[in-house]
Amino acid sequence: MFGAVSAVNHSERWEALMPKTQILSAKIRQSSGHFSQATMIEARGRLVFISGMTARRADGTIAGIGDIEAQTRQVCENVKSASGPASNPIRLKW
């Protein structure tokens, strides 16, 4: 009853009801592997899932080595960049 065909059909129905868009930003270091920086799903509202944010700059260097405040600032900037195309801009105040 719950074989692979049913799972595929179920997934296709959800994809049709709630389209999924992967979001990539040039302001963030591209992840290795098959990971996306953020995924947006259109539902009755808009859901944005963000994962794997680190203190890496777009060029791959690590911001603020030994400085947790600088690293936190970079992570927040990366979250802002990842979510930018999907939502109202996030405003960060330091």
> 25-48: per-residue pLDDT in tens?
888 787 666 667 788 887 777 777
> What stretch of H or E contains 41?
strand 38-42
SS3 track for 75-92: HHHHHHHHHHHHCCCCCC
Residue listed under structure tokens 């953020």: 38
> 52-94: per-residue pLDDT in tens?
889 999 999 999 999 999 999 999 998 888 877 666 666 666 5
What is the chain's Cα-based Rg? 17
- Calculate mean pLDDT across residues 10-29: 74
Considering only residues 1 and 91, tell me which one the structure prediction assigns the higher pLDDT. 91
pTM of structure:
0.56
**Which domains can be identified in the chain, with CATH numbers?**
19-86 (3.30.1330.40)
